[in-house]
Chain A
Amino acid sequence: MQEFIMHELQYIALSIMAVVYIAKIFWILSFKPAVENTPSAGNKRKAITMSFFSIAMPWSMESSRKKWYKWVEFVILHIGITVAILASFFIPESPFLMTPGIILFFQIVLSLAFVVSIVRLGRRMFSPVNRLISHPDDYFSIFVTLLWFFLAFFAMPMDKSNWMFTGYFVLTAVLIAYVPFSKMSHYILWPFSRYYFGKHFGHRGTYPKTKPNY
C-alpha cells in the first residue's frame, strides 16, 4: 500500500494536475487579448523581462520595499514548497540523494516554512484586512500547506514505519490533485499575468521605472 502511495498514487495525481493545467492554459488562451493599436513608446521586451524578475527584486516595488518581511516570508514559503516537492520525488525515485546533509537542510527549510505558514495563517485570521479578503479557499490552502510542511519535516528521515511518512505522501498526492482547482494554481496564471503587465506598461513607456534621460 505504501509503495502504491509513493508511486502510482503520485503519478495519478500528477497526471490529473498535468491534464488540468494544460486545459487551463488552453482556457486562458481562448480569451482574446486586448491589443494595443498604437506604436510602442517603450521597450516591451525589457519591460516583460523586468516584470518577471520583479518578484526577485523586492526594491522594485513599494509594497515589498516597505513590507520587506512579507517578501522574506514569500521566499521562505516558496523554497519550502520547492523542497517538499523535491523530496516527494527524491525519496521514492532517488533515495540516495537524501544524504544526511540534504535531510538536515530540507528539515531546516521546512521548519522555517512551517513557521512562516503559521504566521500567514495567523495574519489571515487576525489582521482585519486579510480576514476581510480571505475566503475558505485561502484558509484551506495555507492550512493544508502548513500541515504538509509539518508532515514533510518528519518524513525526511525516511522512516517508513512513521505514519507521518505515509501521511506526507498521501497529502502530497491530494495537494497535487487539488492545487489546479485552488488559489494555489496562481503560478499557472502568474507568468501570463506578469507578461501582460510588462507588455502593457512597457508599451506605454511607464515600466520599468523611468530614469531621467534629459
Chain B
Amino acid sequence: MMGNIFQRAKALPLSGKLGLALVIFWLAVALFGPMLAPYPVGAFVAYDVFDGQSAKHWLGSDYLGRDVLSRLMSGARYTVGLAAAAALLASTSGTALALTAAVGGAKVDEPLSRFMDMLISIPSKIFSLVLVAAFGSSLGLLLLIAAFTYIPGNYRIARALAVNLAQMDYVQVAKARGERRFYIAIAEILPNMIHPLLADFGLRFVFIVLLLSGLSFLGLGVQPPDADLGSLVRENISGLGEGALAIIAPAVAIATLTVGVNLLIDAIGFSGKGKGQ
C-alpha cells in the first residue's frame, strides 16, 4: 500500500509534485509547527514592531513585536486543521445526501434538492456573522459553520454526477440483478465519481480557508492570543504601508497552501483519468 502511494506520487506530473510538496510542507507545519516554533505564540520578543528579516527573527516581528515565524507556525494549525476537517465534513455529508437522492428516486430527490437550494440562497458571510454573534466564537462553532455552508455546493455537484451515473447501463444491470440501493450507491456509483469529488474537495478546502481567513480578518474567527493565518493578516494590516514581512508572510502562506492543494488535486484527477483510458 505504501509502495503503491509512493509509486503514484512518482508518476505525478511536475505541477502535481509541486502541489504535493506544498501540501506535505503545510501538513508538517500544522502538525509540528507549535513544537518547533522558536518563541511562544504570545511572547513579546522584539524591541521593534514590524522589524525586517534578521537572524533572531527569520520573518521579522509583528505590530506588537512578537515573532512572526512562531505565530505563523502556530497559526497554520488552525487554518489547515479547521479547513480540512470542515471540508471533509461538508464533502462526506454532501455526497452521502447526493447518493441518497440519486438512488432514492424523485420522492427523495425533489424535497432534498429544494431544501439544499434554500440553504444555498443564504449568504455564507452573513450566516456566519449571525451565528458567531449569537453563540460567540469557538473552534467547534467555526467548524460547523464552515461545513454547513459548503454542504449544499458539494451536494449539487455530487448529485449531478450521481444522477448521471445512476442512468448508466451497469447500474441498470445491478438493479436488474436485484441489488439493494445501498450497494448500488456505494459499489457502483461512488467509485466512478471519486475523481471529480476530489477536485471538488480541493475547491471546498480553499473556499473554507478563505472563509475562515475572512472571518478572522473581521475579528470573528480564531480569538487572540491564538491566531490563524487570516487573523495574522488582519492584525498586521497597519504594516501594509511599510510592506512589512509580518503581513506578507501570512498572505503568502495562505496562497501557497491553497495553490498547493489545487495543483495536487488537479494532478490526481488527471493521472486517474489517464489510467482509466
A and B found bound together: no
| Chain B residues engaging chain A, CB cutoff 8 angstroms | none
